[in-house]
Amino acid sequence: MIHPIVNSPLNMDEEESFLLKDEEEEAISEEVLTRIMKLKRSQWWIFVFISIFFLISAQAVAVLLGRFYYDQGGNSKWVSTLVQTVGFPILYLPLCLLPASSPTWSSCSFKTLVWIYLSLGLAIGLDNLLYSYGLLLLSASAYSLICGTQLIFNAIFSYLINSEKITFWTVMSVFFLTISALVIALDDDSDSPSGGSKWIYVIGCLLTLLASLIYSLQLSLMQFSFEKIIKKETFAMVLEMQIYTSLVASCVSVIGLFASGEWKMLRREMEEFHMGHMSYVLTLAGTAVSWQLGSVSAVALIFLVSSLFSNLIGTLSLIVTPLAALAVFDDKLTVAKIVAILFAIPGVAFYMYTNYLDGLKVQRERDSQAD
């Protein structure tokens, strides 16, 4: 899974997601901001840079470790799926740091919340499984570049489901990212790392493309749930959404692991792992922690700076990850990959610029209302 903020509705394109929506959330934030304001300027910058580093690097590290797992002899798709969400207890850390007095109730019933968590959790489980297959069949760099198409689907679903406007910069972002994905998919010089044929490579591209589509749809549905059903979007509610949907997705992965019979192969897989038992455990644990560390860092940047800034920094991982994969795994740097990266960079830049303009627009509207 590649996304600016791992499994987080904080990254949605809705203009309102850049700003706190209600007086209660503003009161909570003021209490947190009061603590932040007590920091010296040097300390504030240190925390900001640390959060930026972990937000960008966690995404890349998680993908690289996922590819490393397969390269060193790992073959369980369900284990690869499970580690993408099983680290969700880490999210309790920022949740516990929120003021204890902040209520997290919403306007919808408990039964409705359960159905939302179950449906989105099932979608996340399926999405992660598709990403696992994509990473198995593709090189890390090709996989990361194709995952950039999530921004395309995000723009489309935001327009269809969340009534977002399609701007010139959005169209330009979709255009460049579409070309980037097509170039990778049609790259005749790229081979599947699993040693398969060209058709295996194409299947890997299609599965990753489908995973990006489902992920973007999931984000838009999360935003729709907050706006139309839950009707409350505080930081605590967002974190709880992440925690409980990840819990459901993890249960789906565990069921799939046992139903598929892959659990029987885990002991042998560990024994035959090229780098040894300890490396096997550390690889899986590191992958699980990395996915969730990105989410925690995103929340930290929202408190320290703004939601908009957190979103923009998270988007940079879509460029950093394929470059890191090329450097770490010595992936074959084909002409098509170079062209794809050159098209992906402006595509991501246009997407970030669109979010920047949306944030300025909402800020001006809020300032005018305050006056």
Q: Note whether 88 and 327 are within 8 A (CB).
A: no
Residue 209, domain member (yes or no): yes
pLDDT for res 6? 36
Residue 68 maps to a domain? yes
Q: Quick: pLDDT tens for 294-314.
A: 878 877 776 677 665 676 677
Distance, in Å, from the CA atom of 86 to the CA atom of 101, rounded to the nearest integer, reads: 28
pTM of the entire predicted model? 0.81
Report if residue 35 sits inside a domain: no
Q: Which domain holds residue 79?
A: 42-99+107-370
The token pair that represents 362 in the structure block: 């909402």
Q: Alpha-carbon distance 254 to 24, whole Å?
A: 38
Q: How far apart are CA 240 and CA 263, in angstroms?
A: 29
> Could you give the count of Cα atoms lying within 13 Å of 340 in the half-sphere of its Cβ?
28
- Report d(CA 313, CA 57) in Å as an integer: 11
CA–chain centroid gap for 365, Å, is 29
Is residue 189 assigned to a domain?
yes
> What CA–CA distance (Å, rounded) separates 234 from 56?
24
| Residue 352 lies inside a defined structural domain of this protein | yes
Q: Is residue 80 part of a domain?
A: yes
Q: Is residue 365 part of a domain?
A: yes
- The DSSP call for residue 265 is G
pLDDT in tens, 232-268: 667 778 788 889 999 999 999 999 999 999 999 999 9
In this structure, are residues 236 and 102 in contact, taking their beta carbons and an 8 Å threshold?
yes
Q: How confident is the model at residue 17 (pLDDT cuts 50, 70, 90)?
A: very low
pLDDT digits (tens, 9 = 90+) for 79-96: 999 999 999 998 888 777
Give the number of domains in the chain: 1
DSSP annotation of 262 reads: G
